[in-house]
Amino acid sequence: MFWKQYVKEMAQLGINSIGIVLLISFFIGAVICIQMKVNIESPWMPRWVAGYTTREIMLLEFSSSIMCLILAGKVGSNIASEIGTMRVTQQIDALEIMGVNSACYLILPKILGLLTIMPFLVIFSSAMGIVGAYGTAYIGHIMPPDDLTLGLQHDFVPWFMWMSIIKSQFFAFIISSVASFSGYTVEGGSVDVGKASTDAVVTSSVLILFSDVFLTQLLS
């Protein structure tokens, strides 16, 4: 039963978020590349600098921190409202009466599911950001693709990829646990479920921002 729930949560929280992650990452990758090219270009700068900065921004901050802030909105509100609705409609009481440990049955698969799927989302996001950057080069003709490729390959530090994944694991735990707590402790009716959902998003976003500072310092 646990594995069934675990796979279901991975699909619901992770697989169903791939679309939004890819869409946002594509456009952010493209926009960063354009901004870098337009605003940093000078005779004193190498031609590959736009590609290099796009890669670093996507890898170090966007694909882990900013994407998790976006997921805090999508996944966090989903978790809090689902568990909150189960609480106010007595579905959690029904689980307890059956002798099921409701917290373990409902929350644990969500936390483990999101922790499992998050590294894949980070990798997909980084890759899609780079595809977006290539889009500006091939379709928008902002810069020659060769210059972009040179920048993307310049001085690559594999640790940055791991750093991004490690950070995202912390953020995934924050999103799923804060949202689950908010939903699980709801009392009242639909208004309170809505409030719990908002609280979950706000609290997890703030915690992600604070922990991002410490994690970046710690891992750099």
Partner 1 sequence: MIEVKNLYKSFGDKEVLKGINTVFEDGKTNLIIGQSGSGKTVLMKNLVGLFEPTSGQVLYDGRDFVRMSKKEKVMMRREMGMIFQSAALFDSLSVLENVMFPLDMFSSMNLREREKRAMYCLDRVNLSGAEKKYPGEISGGMQKRVAIARAIALNPKYLFCDEPNSGLDPKTSLVIDDLLHSITQEFHMTTIINTHDMNSVMGIGENIVFIYEGHKEWQGVSSEIMNSTNKRLTDFIFASDLLKEMRQAVTGKQ
Locate 209 and state its tokens.
Answer: 């921002």
Q: 112 vs 50, 104, 186, CA distance in Å?
A: 37, 11, 22
Which stretch, 28-36, 43-51, 95-103, 139-147, contacts partner 1 (CB under 8 A)? 95-103
Question: Which residue, 91 or 153, is less far from partner 1 as judged by CB?
Answer: 91
Q: Are 200 and 179 in contact (CB under 8 A)?
A: yes
Shortest Å distance, C-beta 7 to partner 1: 14
Question: Which residue, 86 or 152, is less far from partner 1 as judged by CB?
Answer: 86
Among 7, 38, 40, 93, binds partner 1 (CB under 8 A): 93
Q: What share of the chain is helix, strand, coil (3-state, %, to 5)?
A: 85, 0, 15
Among 15, 46, 91, 146, binds partner 1 (CB under 8 A): 91
187 makes contact with partner 1 (CB under 8 A): no
Locate 29 and state its tokens.
Answer: 């990758």
DSSP 8-state code for residue 59? I
Among 7, 15, 38, 90, binds partner 1 (CB under 8 A): 90
Q: 193 vs 90, 189, 200, CA distance in Å?
A: 13, 6, 10
Amino acid at 216: T
190 makes contact with partner 1 (CB under 8 A): no
Q: Which residues bind partner 1 (CB under 8 A)?
A: 1, 85-86, 89-91, 93-94, 96-101
